[in-house]
Amino acid sequence: MLEVDVLRVGAQGDGLAADGLFVPYGLPGERVAGIRDKDRLLPVRILVESPDRIAPVCPHFGVCGGCLLQHWRTDAYRAWKRALVVDALAREGVVAEVSPLVDAHGEGRRRAIFHARQIGPRTIVGFAERKSHSMVPITICPVLAPGLDHALDAAKAVAEAIARQKKPLDLHVTATENGLDLDVRGSGPLPPMLLMDLAAIAERFDLARLTRHGEMVVQRRVPFLPMGAARVELPPAAFLQATAAGEAMLAARVGEAVAGAKKVADLFSGVGTFALRLASTARVWGYESNEVAVTAMLKATRGVQGLKGVEGEVRDLFRRPLMAEELAKFDAVVIDPPRQGAEAQARELAKSKVGRLVYVSCAVSTFARDAALLIAGGFRLESVTPFDQFRYSPHVELVATFSR
């Protein structure tokens, strides 16, 4: 049995002891005991408990891999999450003042991906264990918004109906303005009688829409979400900001940063989270590799009064970033790439004459890399504001503003 002192919490949410040993759910200042398993201490027995340790809010905490930090006092957790941004920038040599962490949890997460597995006669629906493919059957998830109150029951009913296919399923559920939107992935083709059973389940749980791999099973109502003056008809399993409050806060910060711009490029525009809001004061060009998302964004502008104009182009910005010459017509650029960041696009932005840039990031390490490229190209990093949409997780988002 090995005894160690937890020195700090690492970037992935585990406690860290000397020699880089990971201590699952360990908190700074604790002394713990366990057996070393490669680079982890398992199982962990607390010998000296941190005064910052609190009771978790979920009965599945410690088994379910979804939340890692429910046991940490709020002020200590918030300071650590802001420090993730500070440390990532420092590693890239980027000097910037990082604002206090903004709580963007709101009512909770409005989308979830439940996993379903058939184990003998049982259909297990829930989330995966930490660093494992084993399933945790869940009965409650406190981080979900009230709009997903019946999502787990609906997902279980769909999974049980498809159980005879004996395939692992992912069930994407989104709370929309008109009810739950559920998309099933992994089932393969389904026979007509089973599709009829799924349509009956949609009726029983009052789903707005039920799809399989994006293909329609039944639509009882169009699943909409408001974005600025527009209302977007969501594509199945569409990417969205995790919480409604988070989307509103990020969009407000972006809007403030580009205020006064007449022509704005929205790179990695998705279904129009920022573009549709910015269009009330500027002409916006959205660029996104997902054709379905671009179509949904443009469709949402039809008949909406007061918009300055939204154009969309299907374009893979990893393979074909907007070149410096193409960027010349824009007063401001908004960029919201996925977790891998946008190195190729950042290099072209650095070469461009764009005067204002707003970078929305969901991965601080790749943001820091891209920020260093932009600064080397003549941009000044004016502000960095971290947002916490994924409460109890190591995931932190941010909005950064740059100017020439």
d(CA 86, CA 67): 22
User: Do the Cβ atoms of 56 and 44 come closer than 8 Å?
Assistant: no
| Alpha carbon distance, N-terminus to C-terminus of the chain | 57
DSSP for 156-217, please give it.
Answer: HHHHHHHGGG---EEEEEEEETTEEEEEEES--S--HHHHHHHHHHHHHTT-SEEEETTEEE
Q: Which amino acid, one-letter code, is at 83?
A: A
Active-site option among 58, 64, 67, 362: 362
64 is catalytic: no
d(CA 289, CA 303): 25
Read off φ and ψ for residue 69, nearest 5 degrees: -135, 30
d(CA 371, CA 44): 39
Sheet order of strands, 215-219 included = 135-137, 122-128, 111-119, 169-176, 179-185, 209-212, 215-219
d(CA 288, CA 381): 25
Read off φ and ψ for residue 196, nearest 5 degrees: -65, -40
d(CA 299, CA 271): 10
Read off φ and ψ for residue 341, nearest 5 degrees: 75, -160
- Residue that the structure tokens 């269009």 belong to: 279
Catalogue the active-site residues.
362
